[in-house]
Chain A
Amino acid sequence: DAGITQSPRHKVTETGTPVTLRCHQTENHRYMYWYRQDPGHGLRLIHYSYGVKDTDKGEVSDGYSVSRSKTEDFLLTLESATSSQTSVYFCAVRGQDFSGNTIYFGEGSWLTVV
Chain B
Amino acid sequence: SQQGEEDPQALSIQEGENATMNCSYKTSINNLQWYRQNSGRGLVHLILIRSNEREKHSGRLRVTLDTSKKSSSLLITASRAADTASYFCATDESGGYNKLIFGAGTRLAVHP
Residue positions of A touching B, CB distance < 8 A: 31, 33, 35, 40-45, 48, 50, 56, 58-59, 90, 92, 94-95, 99-108
B99:A33 contact, CB within 8 angstroms: yes
B45:A42 contact, CB within 8 angstroms: no
Residues of chain A within 8 A of B105, CB atoms compared:
42
Residues of chain B within 8 A of A107, CB atoms compared:
41-42
Q: Is B25 an interface residue (CB 8 A)?
A: no
Q: Are A40 and B104 also in contact (CB < 8 A) when A90-B42, A104-B45, A105-B42 are? A: yes
B2:A42 contact, CB within 8 angstroms: yes
Contact of A45 among B40, B44, B99 (CB under 8 A): B99
Residue positions of B touching A, CB distance < 8 A: 1-2, 4, 30-31, 33, 35, 40-45, 48, 50, 88, 90, 92, 97-105
A44:B42 contact, CB within 8 angstroms: no
B100:A45 contact, CB within 8 angstroms: yes
Contact of A103 among B1, B30, B98, B103 (CB under 8 A): B98
B97:A31 contact, CB within 8 angstroms: yes
Q: A101-B98, A102-B33 are in contact. List 8 more A-B contacts (CB 8 A).
A: A45-B101, A58-B99, A99-B48, A100-B98, A101-B33, A101-B48, A103-B100, A106-B42
Query: Main SS of chain B's interface residues?
Result: strand
The docked-state distance in angstroms from the alpha carbon of A80 to that of B1 is 24
26 A-B contacts (beta carbon < 8 Å): A31-B98, A33-B99, A35-B102, A41-B104, A42-B88, A42-B104, A42-B105, A43-B100, A48-B97, A50-B97, A56-B97, A59-B1, A94-B98, A95-B45, A101-B30, A101-B48, A101-B92, A102-B48, A103-B33, A103-B90, A103-B98, A105-B35, A105-B42, A105-B44, A106-B42, A108-B42
Contact of B102 among A42, A101, A108 (CB under 8 A): A42
Q: Smallest CB–CB gap between B62 and chain A, Å? A: 19
